[in-house]
Amino acid sequence: MELRHLRYFVAVAESRSFTQAAERLFIAQPPLSRQIQQLEAELGVQLFERSSRPLQLTEAGQFFYQHALKLLSNAEEIKCMTTRIGIVERSIKIGFVASLLYGLLSKIIYVFRQQQPNLKVELIEMSTFEQIQALKQGKIDVGFGRLRISDPHIKRILLREEPLVLAVHQSHVLAQKQCVTFAQLEQEQLFLYPKSQEANFATQVQSIFAEHGLTPKNLKVVREIQLALGLVAAAEGMCIVPESAKSIQLAHVKYIPIIDHDATSPVFMAIRHLDTADDLRALFDCIYQVYDLEAIQYERAVL
């Protein structure tokens, strides 16, 4: 006995007609009749009272009908659950630097999850340097960072150049300005982040100062962005942050645009060279969907 025999039998029992059941099943009536006859022969019982019109089930047929429905329902449930389990096993591991999560990356991940409900998404905070090693070791599938790190095994895609802004206490004289330049910040107490031995956002900002021939006179590097902004809120100094950090709202902290042409921080997506998995392409498309929704300027790169 096969599941198709059960489906044929249920169709005839519910239609109470071989002709109508055949139409419902999109098969010819003679083969359907033969299948039911074979089923009855296998069971050794008659399932239908063929002398009645419309067809009636025998007592054995009624019993078999109830259990056939349960078996078909169970089979469909098993099929759906097995398919669902197989799909859930797909996963993507995403490495990211913390500052990106305060901006559009969180929205990108949300949209990606909505569009890929059966894909397990795992987020792992790590520096850009750590992302490169994790990609090569297969520990993550994609990374989002801010540093230009070259590696023959890694493909780096520039997503956009994010403007930099100055976080300053509202009592400071610079808080009254519409915009500032790096030159105006050289003598100020500045907090940068993060504090680590490798190149990072802090060294990136210091490089911009150097390119302008400037050397900050009162500079302190702290552990993380939250600490830097907390010190700004306490009027201990000011901090240069990516524009997306404006979503971190602290009392008495204002964000002022920095108008130097190079006052930007790049946002990179990194993947293994030649890796073009469908899930990565879907994530890549989500990035630009969010950029469009947020009216973010960019030049679309090629994955």
Is the pLDDT at 127 greater than 60? The verdict is yes
Q: Measured between alpha carbons, how far is 212 from 227 in angstroms, rounded to an integer?
A: 27
Above pLDDT 90, what percent of the chain?
Answer: 70
Give the Cα-Cα-Cα angle 114, 119, 124 (nearest 5 degrees): 95
Res. 210 pLDDT band, cuts 50 70 90 = very high
Tens of pLDDT, residue by residue over 72-81, are 988 888 887 7
Report the pLDDT averaged over residues 29-41: 91
Average model confidence (pLDDT) for the chain? Answer: 91
Q: What is the pLDDT of residue 233?
A: 97
DSSP class per residue in 238-300: EEEEEGGGGGS--TTEEEEEB-STT-EEEEEEEEETT---HHHHHHHHHHHHHHHHTT-----
Is the pLDDT at 230 greater than 70? The verdict is yes
Is the pLDDT at 134 greater than 80? The verdict is yes
Q: Are 193 and 202 in contact (CB under 8 A)?
A: yes
Q: What is the pLDDT of residue 66?
A: 92
Q: What is the pLDDT of residue 271?
A: 95
Q: Are 215 and 190 in contact (CB under 8 A)?
A: no
Q: What is the pLDDT of residue 52?
A: 82
Report the pLDDT averaged over residues 254-276: 93
Q: What is the pLDDT of residue 89?
A: 64
Between 277 and 203, the higher pLDDT residue: 203
Is the pLDDT at 88 greater than 70? The verdict is no
